Amino acid sequence: MLPPDVRDWLPEDHFVWFVIDAVERIDMAAFYAAYRRDGRCRPAYEPAMMLALLLYAYARGTRSSRVIERACVEDVAFRVIAAQQRPDHATIARFVERHQRALADVFGAVLGLCARAGLLGGVVVAIDGTKLHANASRDATSDYERIARDIVEEAIATDRAEDELYGEARGDELPPEIATRQGRQKWLREAQRALDERRAREQRPIPRSRPKRLKESQRRLEEQLWTECRANEAYEAFHARGVMRNGRRMGPATTPKPYTPPEHPQEKINTTDLDSRLVKGMDGWLQGYNAQAATNEQQIVLAAEVMVSSPDFGHLEPMFAATGRELEAAGITAVPEVLLADAGYWHQEQMERIVATGTQVLVPPDSSRRRGKSTRRGWDGGLYAFMRRVLSTDRGSELYGKRQPMIEPVFANTKFNRKITRFHRRGRAAVRTEWRLITATHNLVKLHNHQFAAASA
């Protein structure tokens, strides 16, 4: 009888084997560098196995560490990846937190695999954003004045309760019987006598201390306390006098300056997730983030970043720069020829700087609701009129018509098919890692489908 071979549990074209093979081609140096090499402590789970487990789980829309732990027992695909091991949810969560930066860089590694498969071709790039809920309560958002007021009110309530309980006392005073020196000595003598009587009843030897040694130790302790008191008095007198030992007076450089606190900011903050903001989505305002992405014509995500501001205004150039960095890291040196974005990204200065790099920018100056109703001053000439003329041509209309099918299905697949509408982690850095893992697994599924189609053909 031989143990079962997990390779017989799933067909050869299953997505699990593709994830395992992809992890073998990813540089794991950043993961291994976080562990000890001296053999001490309990050995960790193999980082490659943990990474494959996370990539497969994210690709299937599973991000909860507890659900992943349960799947390692119930789901055949997860058991194959874990090699019949069962990492608990705390281990999985700590792995994500410990390797936050390395997991964010996995996006670039998967993009490199897509480049070697020829999926980064094309000259058109589309940029857009979608709003995702944060792991925070919208009701926990308040301004700094309200937070300060709540703190003060809580302090007042605490003081009132302590006044009712302790009266004029502080509440941490010693009992009256040991509050004075005579009382402490009397209490200690009685405690010593009670202890001696108990030991005598138990017929045990009683170690007796020498009174002379006890008095000598008390005397030394009192002398030390008296010396410290005199030193403190001398220090206070020195500061009050303002004269050093050598006769020099304390100048303005040695005089401490009073601390002046800065003015508090006026914006609101969420006490559950400090980095999240109130952003406007398709269904109204939500507490979350503005998740940005750039895609090509094959619906491969070329860049994924997280912004905290609700409008897309001002994000065009940062996303274009992020796309260039990701493509360069993947071995693609060519600059995209056409950049597409909706009217929310209109930023004339940023568009002019991008055009100076050799990339054509197509951003309509009017949204679909305001198209043909431009009443703002200055919107009838210059770059606005030029962009309208470009988009009205057959070539411009054809290029801009690619924007929606290039990037909107990516967000639709993420939100509706994979059921990812809320981030699990908190903080912009942690959320960025989560968003890059989500988009990296999207690319991994695209790469698997491309390889499977090529093998079938």
Q: Is 269 within the bounds of a domain?
A: no
- Claim to verify: residue 27 and residue 106 sit in the same structural domain: no
- Claim to verify: residue 335 and residue 404 sit in the same structural domain: yes
Q: What is the pTM of this model?
A: 0.73
- 132: part of which helix (H) or strand (E)? strand 124-133
Residue-level pLDDT at 362? 94
- Claim to verify: residue 384 and residue 285 sit in the same structural domain: yes
Give the Cα separation of 208 and 401 in Å (integer).
97
Other Cβ atoms less than 10 A from the Cβ of 60: the count is 17
Q: Which residues, at least 6 apart from 350, have a Cβ–Cβ distance to it below 8 Å?
A: 314, 316, 317
In this structure, the dihedral spanned by the alpha carbons of residues 174, 177, 183 and 184, taken in order and rounded to 10 degrees, is: -50
- Claim to verify: residue 194 and residue 148 sit in the same structural domain: yes
Give the Cα separation of 352 and 302 in Å (integer).
22
Q: Is 262 within the bounds of a domain?
A: no
- Claim to verify: residue 346 and residue 445 sit in the same structural domain: yes
- Claim to verify: residue 25 and residue 128 sit in the same structural domain: no
Kindly write down the DSSP assignment for every residue of 102-116, as one continuous string: HHHHHHHHHHHHHHH
CB 358 within 8 A of CB 142: no
CA 446, 447, 452, 456 torsion-angle sign:
positive
- Claim to verify: residue 174 and residue 155 sit in the same structural domain: yes
CB 426 within 8 A of CB 272: yes
Q: Is 60 within the bounds of a domain?
A: yes
**Which amino acid would we find at residue 221?**
L
Nearest-CA neighbor of 293 among 420, 129, 116? 129
Give the Cα separation of 443 and 120 in Å (integer).
11
Q: Is 263 within the bounds of a domain?
A: no
Domain that holds residue 149: 142-241
| CA 247 to chain CA mean position, Å | 56
- 68: part of which helix (H) or strand (E)? helix 65-74
- Claim to verify: residue 333 and residue 449 sit in the same structural domain: yes
Indicate the number of domains in the chain: 3
Residue-level pLDDT at 252? 47
Q: Is 124 within the bounds of a domain?
A: yes
- Claim to verify: residue 177 and residue 303 sit in the same structural domain: no
Largest CA distance in the chain: 109
pLDDT per residue, tens digit, the chain (457 aa), is 666 777 788 888 899 999 999 999 999 999 998 887 776 777 788 999 999 999 999 999 999 999 999 999 999 999 999 988 999 999 999 999 999 999 999 999 999 999 999 998 778 999 999 999 999 988 887 776 777 777 778 888 887 887 788 777 777 777 777 778 878 888 888 888 888 888 777 765 545 555 555 566 667 767 776 676 666 666 566 556 555 555 655 554 444 455 565 565 556 788 888 889 889 888 888 999 999 999 999 999 999 999 998 899 999 999 999 999 999 988 888 888 999 999 999 999 999 999 999 999 999 988 755 555 554 545 556 788 889 999 999 999 999 999 999 999 999 999 999 999 999 999 999 999 999 999 999 999 999 999 888 877 6
Integer angstrom CA distances of residue 324 from 106, 209, 359: 17, 81, 11
**Which amino acid would we find at residue 300?**
I
Q: Is 195 within the bounds of a domain?
A: yes
Kindly write down the DSSP assignment for every residue of 244-298, as one continuous string: -TTSPBP-TTTSPPPP-PPPPP-SEEESSSTT-EEEEETTEEEEEEEEEEEE-TT
Q: Which of 220, 241, 262 is the last residue of a domain?
A: 241
Integer angstrom CA distances of residue 312 from 80, 280, 391, 434: 42, 11, 20, 20
Residue given tokens 């939500």 in the structure block? 286
- Claim to verify: residue 382 and residue 404 sit in the same structural domain: yes
Structural tokens at position 353: 């700087």
Q: Is 247 within the bounds of a domain?
A: no
- Claim to verify: residue 313 and residue 449 sit in the same structural domain: yes
Give the Cα separation of 91 and 72 in Å (integer).
13
Give the Cα separation of 223 and 19 in Å (integer).
74
**Residue 181 class from Cβ within 10 Å (0-12 exposed, 13-18 middle, 19+ buried)?**
exposed
Structural tokens at position 76: 């055949």
Q: Are strands 124-133 and 284-295 parallel, antiparallel or unpaired?
A: antiparallel
Q: Are strands 124-133 and 141-143 parallel, antiparallel or unpaired?
A: unpaired
Nearest-CA neighbor of 291 among 272, 313, 310? 310
- Claim to verify: residue 283 and residue 426 sit in the same structural domain: yes
Residue-level pLDDT at 89? 94
Nearest-CA neighbor of 106 among 451, 453, 432? 432
Q: Is 215 within the bounds of a domain?
A: yes
